[in-house]
Structure 1
Amino acid sequence: MHTMWKGTISFGLVNIPVKMHAATENKDVKLRQLHKECQSPVKYEKVCPVCDREIQSEEIVKAYEYAKNKFVMLDEEDLEALQKEQADKAVEIVDFVKLEEIDPIYFEKSYYLSPNEGGSKAYVLLLNALKDTGKIGVAKMIIRSKEQLAVIRVYENTLVAETIHYPDEVRNVRDVPNVPEETATAKKELDTAKMLIDQLTTEFNPEKYKDDYRIALLDLIEAKKNNEEITTAKDKPAPKSADNLMDALQESLERAKKAKPKPKQPAKRKTKTTAQKKKTAT
């Protein structure tokens, strides 16, 4: 399992060198976008609207927009120094609480923790202490350049770091629109609903639940592949060689002629006939 972070978990004077590993993975089926006409993958380029050209990664800097089109530029060196200053700190457990005291809305992502060199004894000590007390540890840590609030808990005889949102990251529930203010329910309806819940109540078994859409999508892709309903992106046309330069120029000229609109002919002025001129003279 890939190690994504190394550091130290501490509580009191106990330090536990650990490695962190992603506990979950995204199983979404990734679909590419193709140009319908030639089945070529669509490119997404970074273009400066002022310079009207594609720009490279080394030309891009980070900034904070504090007002409309007003920015504070941030140097990469300053950001790296700030991140290193925070990342070098030990992950300190500051509180111990009960898991049921934290609403699931706060939970974000799970990471497995394994002991690093020389940390096995202290790792087992914390694991057993959490098991026996039924508590979890609340800590702060830096993950991917962001300070995270996290809880340290036990999952199947392994320590897990569970990142959780800060309170100001959870939107106010009072801002949810159209929530009924009246909460009273007719007793007969409530009793029937409770009976239905009782009928459907069981022990939670995660293996029971499948991503039906992902399975059906993969089956559809496999069926189309087996039936050879596939497409191959066309090669990008090679530029004209020097030997064919004259042909290319001639072809371009012909296309330009066809595309160019024909100029309007000026209207002809009417001239007097000889009879009209004689009549005018008399």
Structure 2
Amino acid sequence: MHTMWKGSISFGLVNIPIKLHTATEDKDIKLRTLHNKCHAPIKYEKICSVCEEEVKPEDIVKAYEYTKGKFVVLDHEELEKLHKENEEKAVEIIDFVKIEEIDPIYFDRSYYMSPNESGGKAYSLLRKALQESQKVGLAKIIIRSKEQLAIIRVYENTLVMETIHYPDEVRRAGDVPNVPAEDKVTGKELDTAILLIDQLTSKFEPEKYTDEYRTALLELIESKRSGKETVSPATKEPAASNVTDLMAALQASIDRTKPGKTSAAAVPKKKTAVAPRKKAAAAKVKKEA
């Protein structure tokens, strides 16, 4: 499993060297965008909205748009000073809480934690302590220059870190439009709804659930591929060239550089190869004449 971060867990005076591994993966099927005319992939270029010219990476700067059309430019050096990438990488546990107190809306991404060299015993100690106390560690970590909140918990005998949103990153539920303020339901309706919920209640078994759309899309792609219902980009016509044989051109270049050979200016030029279409056009004109 790929290691995407190395550092340590710290709480109090305890320090546990660990590695992070992404616990989930995006299995969305990526569809390319093609030109319908020739089935070639579409390229996306960075074009300046004023100069209308392609901008190179070294000519791009970061900026914050504080009002429409007005920006504060931030230099690379200024941003580097703010980044904490060069500081000691640590998952600093600042509190221990009950996981029931954290609403799922705060959860973001999951990472497996494995002990680094010499960290096995301390890793096991923290895992056991979390299990016995039925608590999770609330921590701070810096990943890709962003400081994030996270919790550390036990999942199938492995420590897992779940990054969570800061409170100001979660939008207010009260701002959601058209939500009824009061429950306008009858007792009979409520009893019927609860009965239906009871009948549909079962044990959570993740294996039962599949992405039906992804499965159907993969089947469609495979059926088209198997039936040879595929397309390829149209190839560009080769540009007219005076050189018809690459190896001959290379050899001629080598021969010209040998001592005692005639200078390049004295070497007779190779006749330009006539493209098949031009030959046909010339023949037609001659015939008509």
C-alpha distance in 2, partners of 1:70/1:244?
57
DSSP-derived class of the 1:216 partner: helix
1:138-194 per-residue CA deviation (whole Å, 9 max, x = no partner) reads 011111221111001110001111000000000011100000112132111111111
- Tell me if structure 2 keeps the 8 A contact 1:86–1:142: no
- Tell me if structure 2 keeps the 8 A contact 1:22–1:112: yes
Could you say which residue in structure 2 is the equivalent of 1:255?
none
DSSP-derived class of the 1:94 partner: strand
Cα offset for 1:89? 4.9
Aligned ranges for residues 78-93 of structure 1 at < 5 Å? 78-84=78-84, 87-93=87-93
How many percent identity over aligned positions?
A: 64
1:89/1:223 Cα in 2 relative to 1: closer, same or farther (>3 Å)? closer
Larger gyration radius, structure 1 or structure 2: 1
Could you say which residue in structure 2 is the equivalent of 1:191?
191
- Tell me if structure 2 keeps the 8 A contact 1:87–1:141: no
Cα offset for 1:41? 0.5
C-alpha distance in 1, partners of 2:88/2:72?
26
The range that moved more, 63-72 or 204-213, is 63-72
C-alpha distance in 1, partners of 2:190/2:197?
11
C-alpha distance in 2, partners of 1:58/1:87?
26
C-alpha distance in 2, partners of 1:37/1:85?
47
Could you say which residue in structure 2 is the equivalent of 1:75?
75
Could you say which residue in structure 2 is the equivalent of 1:172?
172
C-alpha distance in 1, partners of 2:183/2:155?
37
- Do structure 1's residue 60 and structure 2's residue 75 form an aligned pair? no
The range that moved more, 26-35 or 46-55, is 46-55
1:227-269 per-residue CA deviation (whole Å, 9 max, x = no partner) reads 1110001123333436589x99xxxxxxxxxxxxxxxxxxxxx
DSSP-derived class of the 1:45 partner: coil
1:236/1:80 Cα in 2 relative to 1: closer, same or farther (>3 Å)? farther
TM-score (normalizing by structure 2):
0.81
Cα offset for 1:86? 6.8
Aligned ranges for residues 148-167 of structure 1 at < 5 Å? 148-167=148-167
The aligned amino acid for 2:19 is K
C-alpha distance in 1, partners of 2:50/2:240?
31
Could you say which residue in structure 2 is the equivalent of 1:229?
229
C-alpha distance in 1, partners of 2:71/2:154?
44
- Do structure 1's residue 33 and structure 2's residue 33 form an aligned pair? yes
- Do structure 1's residue 211 and structure 2's residue 188 form an aligned pair? no
Question: Considering only aligned residues, what root-mean-square deviation do their CA atoms show, in Å?
Answer: 2.1
Could you say which residue in structure 1 is the equivalent of 2:6?
6
The range that moved more, 188-197 or 51-60, is 51-60
C-alpha distance in 1, partners of 2:241/2:144?
48
C-alpha distance in 1, partners of 2:125/2:38?
62
TM-score (normalizing by structure 1):
0.83
C-alpha distance in 2, partners of 1:86/1:210?
42
Unaligned runs of 5+ in 1: 249-282
1:217/1:87 Cα in 2 relative to 1: closer, same or farther (>3 Å)? farther
The aligned amino acid for 1:159 is L
Unaligned runs of 5+ in 2: 243-271, 279-289
